[in-house]
Amino acid sequence: MKVMLYADAGAELEQVHELLEGIGIRAELRGEFLRRFAASPEECARRLASLRTGMPCSDTPREPLYGEVEYERRVLEGRCTPKGVLYHALLLQSYLRSLLPRSEARLDRVHVVLTERLIATCDARIPHLRVVVLGMPGIVSVSGAVEAPARSREYHLARALLSEAAAELVAGEWLRHGDERLARALASYVMQVVFYAAFGEAFCSSDECMLHDSRWQHQVVRAQLGMSLCRRHGEMLERLRNALH
């Protein structure tokens, strides 16, 4: 089994790679997924624009506007970042999977894409932010690690009644954009993709295991930043190390 890591410009690819190597997970760095596999930048920009979602959301691609396609073209060229834009997570994964050549779409290859794009799944036409999408390829949203897990109830109450500054004082510990600890969280989410590919297990019920499906920021701080495994998954990691080459 081989792990392939990709990342948009700006994602903490090198740091994540070093952290994975520190726990015995060898991965090949491959740069940007779309630059590697998308043959036509124009078609790629159009497809990405069609995968945008909002409220209400839909599980089918939409017809993009000209300005949206041009914006995606600028993102692909590195002239801007996709901040403030929400993409349908499963449709994005399906598009990325369609770009993989047959020689790469194999069960012994684990493709993981780190992206600055904010992703969401659709439930009853309501978008729900996600950090990670398991499968081929796995997707880990850098923005999602900050935005998707909920902050404390105290934070939202203080923000509603007082101000953003006051809310941050009572929010407790949580990840922010540009946080130097972000790479540790991303490495843990990459491990969720790798474990799912290797063993077919999605998440862990222990809130001290990096494979925990953290719904709150304080859980991310405890589980993902800790980069520890529960006893059972620690034993599975030993088997996984032997399988990677």
The pairing of beta strand 86-88 with beta strand 118-123: parallel
- Examine the pLDDT at 163 and tell me if it is beyond 70: no
Domain 2-243: which CATH number of 2.120.10.30, 3.30.160.100, 2.60.120.10, 3.40.390.10: 3.40.390.10
The arithmetic mean of pLDDT across residues 145-165, rounded, is: 72
Q: What is the pLDDT of residue 12?
A: 76
What pLDDT was estimated at residue 172?
57
Q: Which residue has the higher pLDDT, 150 or 119?
A: 119
This prediction has a pTM of 0.92
**Spatial distance between the Cα atoms of 112 and 201, rounded to a whole number of angstroms:** 16
Higher pLDDT: 49 or 162? It is 49
State the pLDDT at residue 10: 59
Residue 200 scores a pLDDT above 90: yes
Domain limits, the chain = 2-243
CA atoms within 13 A on the CB side of 81: 12
pLDDT for 34: 95
Note the pLDDT of residue 13: 86
